Amino acid sequence: MEERPSPNRMNLLNLRSQVTAAERGMGLLEDKRTSLVKELLGIYKDVMAERHTLRGRTQVAAVELIRAISMDGTEGVMSASFAAKRDISIDVVRRNIWGVKFSEIHYKTMRRALDARGYAFMTTSSTIDASAKGFEMVLETMLNTASTESHMRRIGDEVKKTARKINAIKEIIIPKTKERLRHISRTLEEREREDILRLKRLKRSSR
């Protein structure tokens, strides 16, 4: 059984302060949730746009690859791909917005100049160059999308967490605190009425 605070003036004032603090805290959390939802909707639009771009660039790159294979053969394309092989360096930066920590991917452009792909461009067809460029653009778009989607997931998780806190304050903390407040108020009022009745009886008996 829940232990109730002693019915006295000090606890009455403390509970009133707790209710005020809880309502103020709930208001701040609701403001935070509103801002987070607004940001989430903006990020969602960016993610959808980036996915659309990624889908389009992947289709273009696939078509260019088929053209390169038809022009240079599978062996020619494989040879160029081995020559163009490279390590990719990315930096994962931690950011904090509205108390939400998320990872942001930073990188140098994936697109390379014609003479920076490692193969002899003088003896390689333009279709291989077009295919290489297409997949470099796909890779760059994938990194952009991954960074944005990571941000969106973290914001979404924070919106859920904030909503749970608001519900806990609204449906549990404030009602329980107000019930304790009502209990103390009723008890003190009853005591006050009893004191008044005793005083009246004392006055009558002293006459």
CATH classification of the domain holding 70: 1.10.287.3240
DSSP the chain: -PPPPP-SHHHHHHHHHHHHHHHHHHHHHHHHHHHHHHHHHHHHHHHHHHHHHHHHHHHHHHHHHHHHHHHHHHHHHHHHHHHT-----EEEEEEEETTEEEEEEEE--S---GGGSSS-GGGS-HHHHHHHHHHHHHHHHHHHHHHHHHHHHHHHHHHHHHHHHHHHIIIIIHHHHHHHHHHHHHHHHHHHHHHHHHHHHHHHHH-
Q: Residue 24 domain-assigned? A: no
Average pLDDT score over the chain = 86
**What is residue 96's predicted lDDT score, i.e. its pLDDT?**
75
**Using 50, 70 and 90 to split pLDDT, how confident is the model at 161?**
very high
How buried is 37 (Cβ within 10 angstroms: 0-12 exposed, 13-18 middle, 19+ buried)? middle
Q: How many CA atoms lie within 13 A of 172 on its CB side?
A: 6
Q: Residue 10 domain-assigned? A: no
Q: Residue 22 domain-assigned? A: no
- Encode pLDDT of 83-114 as tens digits: 888 888 888 888 777 677 777 788 788 888 77
Q: Encode 154-170: b = buried (16+ Cβ within 10 Å), e = exposed.
A: bbbebbeebeebbeebe
**Using 50, 70 and 90 to split pLDDT, how confident is the model at 194?**
confident
- By the 8 A CB rule, do 49 and 129 touch? no
Q: Residue 142 domain-assigned? A: yes
Range of the domain at 105: 46-206
pTM above 0.85, yes or no: no
The count of domains in the chain is 1
Q: Residue 188 domain-assigned? A: yes
- Encode pLDDT of 124-158 as tens digits: 788 888 998 999 999 999 988 988 888 888 899 99
Residue 1 confidence (pLDDT) above 60: no
| Average pLDDT value for residue range 183-188 | 87
Residue 121 confidence (pLDDT) above 70: no
Range with lowest mean pLDDT among 26-35, 43-52, 66-75, 194-203: 194-203
**Which residues neighbour 85 within 8 Å (Cβ) at sequence distance 6 or greater?**
118
- Encode pLDDT of 9-18 as tens digits: 888 889 899 9
Q: Residue 13 domain-assigned? A: no
Range with lowest mean pLDDT among 44-48, 58-62, 67-71, 195-199: 195-199
**What is residue 177's predicted lDDT score, i.e. its pLDDT?**
92
| Average pLDDT value for residue range 164-177 | 94
Residue 2 confidence (pLDDT) above 60: no
